[in-house]
A and B are shown apart, each in its own frame.
Chain A
Amino acid sequence: MRKKISTLLTCSVLLALSACGLGSSGSDTDSDDTIKIGTLFSVSGAGANLGDKMRKGAELAVKQVNADGGIDGKKIDWVFYDPAGDTSTAVQQTNRMLDSDGVELIVGGGGSSGIALAMDPITSGRGVAFIATEGARQIVEPAAEAHPLTFKTTFNDTVMVERLIAFWKAHDITRVAFMPDTSSFGQSAQEELERLAPEAGIKVFTAAFDPAANDLTPQVKRLAGNDPQAYLAWTITPAGVTFLKNLRSVLGDSDVMVMHGFGFVDDRYMQQAGAASTGTILVSPKLPVWDRIDASDPQQPVMEDFATAYAEEYGGEQPNVYAGQAYDAMMVAVAALRATGGDTDGEKIADAVEALGTHVGVTGAFKFTADDHSGLTVDDVAVIQWDGSRFVPVE
């Protein structure tokens, strides 16, 4: 009996494996009425929360495009996999999308910079365009020489840091306590901040923390010894809530500036920090404050439409920045595809993206060029504040 089961198991594993290889030798690559777009986001594993938001953003874009009749009559056939935060799984899935599923274009790089960096050589090697939704600038730089087919719809940390520095200068802040987490998100920002701040005459004191940490008071207290005027955390994890609570607990009522990076722009996080989050200042795309900015801003209607459609689609949930970035990435791809007339050749798409001029998206007005595959500038960054119940722009 048990022998039968084990034999069965062995055989089925073998069969399944060879079937997945055999059955799909690039068979359905060129079906005329659809365009296959592949996406990886980590909807399980450590960054699952974020990955889920990104998936929703991309999914919304696909639904909208298909509902509008697709791209020149071709519907998007969307292929989605979950690498669960693991780069080698992502590499395998990227190969699967390109070699087996017949994916013609990839949007979304797994939700972590490491994964996007791992995917880029594969997509580039096959001449496939790749529009990433991850932060690290190495994904697309240097654009013209090394990454001609790869774009991203996120802010370079450089842009964010420049905006921060301008903000600090305007508020006469010269001493900053910086707490990045030890993930790639925090580390990339740390590199940029420690590179750019000294040039601007700002002294940065850094203490990193583990994203899984449950108490950050030693770091806060230690940094407090340097008398900083502002505390800035850089994380996408719930540890940011602990940061806010601990900061309030250690510093009491002192009126230092409490800041977070764009990874933490999330209503839920802010609410969960309770009173400790009130007054927190964040650098962010304009999306969270779309209803508080000048209606003459060309981005305003785009953001409003997106926020409304998203809330409608996902039961009243407010989109966060990550959902916006994924939506933008998909829409940039669609715009380029419309320009090429549905041709998915990597170089043609890349040319089309670079020729889009200004693509007004929900997280910024993208201006891609041959040398800039990020497309966002300091003008797209807003400084916002949590007033205890919602985000508002800071003048």
Chain B
Amino acid sequence: MDTGLLIQVILSGLSVGAIYALVAVGFGVIFNATGAINFVQGEYVMVGGLSAAMLYEAWDVPVLVAIVAAVALTVLLGVLTEFGLLGFGRLRTPASITIATIAIAVIIKGAAMLISDRDTYALPSVLGAGSLQVWGASTSRQTVLNLLLAVVAVVALALFFQRTKLGTTLRAAAGDSETLQTFGVSYRTTARWAFVIAAALGAVAGAGLAPLTVMSFDSGTLLGLKGFAAAMLGGLGNPRGALAGGLMLGIAEAVMSGYGAAAYADVVAFVVLLAILTLRPTGMFGTAQAVRT
């Protein structure tokens, strides 16, 4: 067996998986707060990566500044998303919110297409372009940073959910406005915070993804869906599960690319989604009740 290929497959899986994990965590945060699936999550990644790259490439903004600005912009978009969904007080069920998120995702994507004039934009890594050699395989330095970001995000969120008042409320809420009222917190407030966190996570994922490839208005949608599959794999709403799910999905795809029928690599995510829902719908680390009684 070719160990070089094996290591390469694992590295590739971790590289892509770190991004999936960040997206998956974002899905979980919104799910916990509203009970809905936020289809805008993938577009946050796109906006984060694309706007950072556009700032850098078209306006010569320094990389780090561009990333910070991109995160800020995406967070603003997160707040706007929350307003677009709940600001009119008419959408009350997770299903209707979920459907409205799709409409917002389409709007954001359509606007990004016009603003970027359909062009692709690249962002260099803050760590430079070099690659790391590991036992006959190689990966970019950005991969290490992305893994680090994913782990830090998950740990920080786990602490946030357990240690802070807002975090406990967010976790306990799980979309139940009655519970929230007993906490003396409004549904809107928790939802807004959830969208701020989710958008920030998405933007970070985008800024981490951009140096690995190039960004366009179309970079987010499929990534969002795969990130969702990762979230389901780990257990929707569980940050540690999202990390594990993301990395495992990344590795599963890489294994398919490296050893199986490479053309079918992108089917893996959705087969995994179907399989996990069938076999263990709460995900591997999930606690939510997914099956009817």
Contacts and interface: CB of A to CB of B under 8 A. Distances in A.
Within 8 Å by CB, do A and B touch in the complex?
yes
Interface of A: 43-46, 48-49, 51-52, 182, 207-210, 212-219, 221-222, 225, 238-239, 241-242, 245, 248-250, 252, 268-269, 271-275
Interface residues of B, number: 46
B179 interface: no
Contacts of A210: 263, 265-266
A219 B119 contact: no
A244 B202 CA distance: 26
Contact of A214 (B110, B119, B121, B209): B209
Interface string B35-47: 0000000000000
A311 to B, nearest CB: 16
Contacts of B214: 238, 241-242, 269, 272
A217 B216 contact: no
Given A218-B254, A225-B5, A241 B122 contact: yes
B188 to A, nearest CB: 23
B217 interface: yes
Interface string B102-117: 0000000010010001
A250 B8 contact: yes
A214 B138 contact: no
B12 A218 contact: yes
Nearest to B53: A272
A275 B2 contact: no
B120 A215 contact: no
Given A272-B122, A274-B124, A249 B131 contact: yes
Nearest to A207: B262
16 contacts: A45-B218, A46-B218, A48-B217, A52-B117, A207-B257, A209-B257, A215-B16, A215-B254, A217-B137, A218-B9, A218-B254, A219-B262, A239-B213, A248-B131, A268-B119, A273-B122
Nearest to B114: A44
Given A49-B120, A215-B212, A209 B265 contact: yes
Given A222-B258, A242-B212, A249-B131, A217 B19 contact: no
B113 A44 contact: yes
B120 A217 contact: no
A44 B4 contact: no
Contacts of B258: 218-219, 221-222
Nearest to B267: A210
B263 A182 contact: yes
Interface in B233-279: 254-255, 257-259, 262-263, 265-266
Contacts of B92: none
B139 interface: yes
B15 interface: yes
A370 B116 CA distance: 43
Contact of A268 (B9, B120, B213, B254): B120
B12 A217 contact: yes
Nearest to B218: A46
Contacts of A271: 122
Contacts of A274: 122, 124, 129
Contacts of A245: 140, 212-213
Contacts of A273: 122
Contacts of B137: 217, 221, 250
B61 interface: no
B222 interface: yes
B223 interface: yes
B77 interface: no
Contacts of A215: 12, 15-16, 212-213, 254
A233 to B, nearest CB: 13
B11 interface: yes
Nearest to A49: B118
Nearest to B259: A222
Given A222-B258, A269-B120, A250 B212 contact: no
